[in-house]
Structure 1
Amino acid sequence: MAESKKVSSVSFFNSRLTSIISIALVLFLLGLIFLMGLLGNKLSVYVKENISFSIVLKDNQKEAEIKKMQKTLDALPYIKSTEYISKEQAAKELEEELGENPETFLGFNPLQASIEVKLYSEYANPDSLKLIEKKIKNYTSVSDLLYRKDMMQMVNDNVKRVSLILLTLAVILMAISFVLISNTIRLLIYSKRFLIHTMKLVGATPSFIRRPFVRYNVVSGIFASILAIFMLTGALYYLQNELSGFIQLLDIKALVIVYAGVLVMGILLSITATVFAVNKYLRMGVDKLYYI
């Protein structure tokens, strides 16, 4: 008798452990998709906010006027930062690129002073830039405004494309996750199908029958979520060692959101799958229970 109980408890432990590991692997994949989405968003913001355009200034502008204009630009809600580049500094930078000072063979400095402007990511798109260009060109000291329209358009198109791919992957993986978790939980409940039928016969309500199964699988879902979070942390640690500075793209708030999302998904998917699985056996007649 004692031996039978021991075998039963070992079998119960093994089935629960298998269930937890199976759910954890699915949640780990979901967590990776969440992380990729956040990383993609952070990366797109970083790229957009580092694409600058140049406000070319007219010659013989007084430094006080330039500083005043720069201060006005810094106060605008769509401008992240500005940097003044004098004619001399522009010539020095060109010399570093070409290896020769343009003044040496031209006899004068052909370059103009400019202000390099970086926008906040939400304004770094061709439509917003058209409006910003009109406003900036109203300044009397502005000669021209230079920026790579094709690059700006390419970055925005790629961001939209990647976002759509990640969203599609997330939806597909969510569906696969539900099916896998549902099958795992259904296998656990399958062995209790006659117990469910017996409880029905003695007058137990569906909610009363479902309650212990839901509680059991919620606990399993929580343990699986914790395991998945440890796996995600290990994956992030590995990526940080392989790609220096990778972790800087993610802040604590983003990680908390991902980890909380994994925990919530583990609980919600476990509850939903349990309810569906128990309802299946609640609706099933006793004759069918022998043939499934």
Structure 2
Amino acid sequence: MNPTKIVSVLKRMKRNFVATPYLHLAATGTIGLCLLITGCFIILYTNLNDLIEVWQQDIRIVAYIKDGVSDRQRTLLAQTISKLNGVKEVSYTSKDEALTQLRQQMKHRSSLLDGLHTNPLPASFTIDLVESQKNRVNVTLLSRKINEFPEINDVEYAKAWLHRFSGFISFFRLASLVVGLVVFATTVFICSNTIGLTLYAQRDELDIMRLVGATDSFIKAPFYIQNLIQGLLGSLLAITLLFAVYNIFIAKIEAYGALMATWEVRFLSLTEVYELLLIGVVIAWLGSYISLKQFLKS
């Protein structure tokens, strides 16, 4: 395209915006809203995964020993368990130590235990796992193996919340995908209609340009460029709002020092920022393509 045509395209872009500024602002805002919702889902999903990883670091299996197991049997059992795949360390807690720990946990209500004539608490093994094994599948399999030993009465680990949270994450991933696709399609549709209104407002001018021999590419150029700019601006708007909301959220949860000490809420990575920018541009391009194709066919 020669310089004269470039200048002509830029002038038409300016006229388009001056003629229908609210439509262009609406398209930019719609893209921004779409990407704001998408960005929120990305941040939530990423940080929920991080939170699960933090919680998984504290996963331990507690195996309760049956009464009547001798010291020799207990020692051999501890050695056998420590050799199982995924086991990092096995520590023993006697019945008396378990009662002492319970008193410490109950603090001011520990007097409730004074009336006990016998210690009802069992001795136990606390099994710490290697980092690579701290996930739902491996913990479940290892717990089943340990529970098969005849000296073990019961095995306890965070089974309920592991299954529940893993199921929630899977559901959240699927819901995010569905919502993302719906929001994406809706935004493309709105952008397409917005561009269609702009084309309709300038139909007489565009018809004259076609009659005097203007090519389809020359007619399309200013609309593609201005809508790609809208997509980029909408993406930047969404990222700016996301960052503002993120900082407000961080300020709100700073009071929970213990949580923040083990888990850092992350913003979008640089790659995810680029992906949002790309999505905004793609939405704008698709909206332009659909609307221009329909207009030029008519």
The TM-score with structure 2 as length reference comes to: 0.69
Instruction: Tell whether 2:115 aligns with 1:115.
Output: no
CA contact (8 A) 1:102 1:109 kept: no
Give the CA deviation at 1:225: 0.9
Task: Give the CA deviation at 1:141.
Answer: 8.1
1:223–1:93 distance in 2 versus 1, CA, 3 Å: same
Work out whether residues 196 and 281 of structure 1, in 8 Å CA contact, stay in contact via their aligned partners in 2.
Answer: no
Q: Deviations over 1:243-289 (max 9, x none)?
A: 2368845436x4334423321110100010011111121111xxxxx
Would the alpha carbon gap of residues 167 and 48 (structure 1) be closer, same or farther in structure 2, given more than 3 Å must change? Answer: farther
Equivalences, count: 270
Q: CA RMSD in A?
A: 4.1
> d(CA) in 1 for partners of 2:221 and 2:17?
24
Alignment of 1:21-40 (within 5 A): 21-40=29-48
1:265 aligns with 2:279: yes
Aligned with residue 288 of structure 2, among 274, 277, 280: 274
2:31/2:283 contact within 8 Å kept: no
Match of 2:211 among 201, 208, 217: 201
1:218 is aligned to: 228
**Is this contact kept in 2: 1:20–1:221, CA < 8 A?**
yes
How far, CA to CA, are the matches of 1:121 and 1:39 in structure 2? 21
Which digits, 9 at most, give the CA deviation of each residue in 1:170-223, with x for residues without a partner?
A: 232222222233233333444343444344334454345333322221122112
SS of alignment partner, residue 269 of structure 2: helix
Q: Which 10-residue stretch deviates more, 18-27 or 233-242?
A: 18-27
Cα distance change on mapping 1:97 and 1:281 into 2, 3 Å: same
1-structure distance, mates of 2:198, 2:90: 64
Match of 1:11 among 9, 13, 18: 18
Whole-Å separation in 2 of the counterparts to 1:8 and 1:201: 20
Q: Is the 8 A contact 2:62 2:124 kept in 1?
A: no
Assess, with a 3 A threshold, how the Cα gap between structure 1 residues 212 and 31 changes in structure 2: closer, same or farther: same
**CA pair 130-39 structure 1, distance change in 2 beyond 3 A:** closer
1:28-107 map, 5 Å: 28-47=36-55, 50=58, 52-56=60-64, 60=71, 66=78, 70=82, 72=83, 76=86, 84=91, 86-87=93-94, 89-98=97-106, 99=110, 105-106=116-117
Q: TM-score, normalised by structure 1?
A: 0.70
Structure 2, unmatched stretches of 5+, are 1-13
Deviation of 1:149 (Å): 4.7
Give the one of 234, 246, 251 matched to 2:266.
251
User: In structure 1, what is the equivalent of residue 136 of structure 2?
Assistant: 124
Seen in structure 2, the aligned counterparts of structure 1 residues 124 and 223 have a Cα distance that, compared at 3 Å, is same
1:259 and 1:82 map into 2 onto residues whose CA distance is: 42
Could you tell me which amino acid in structure 1 is paired with residue 229 of structure 2?
V
- Summarize the alignment of residues 127-206 of structure 1 with structure 2, pairs less than 5 Å apart: 129-136=139-146, 144-147=154-157, 149-206=159-216
Alpha-carbon contact 2:228-2:284 (below 8 Å) kept: yes
Q: Do the aligned partners of residues 235 and 262 (structure 1) sit closer, same or farther apart at CA in structure 2, a change above 3 Å counting?
A: same
Tell me, yes or no, if the aligned pair for 1:48 and 1:120 is still in contact at 8 Å. no
Q: Distance in 2 between matches of 1:10 and 1:150?
A: 57
* Identity %, equivalent residues: 18
Helix, strand or coil at the partner of 2:286: helix
Structure 2 residue matching 1:251: 3-state secondary structure: coil
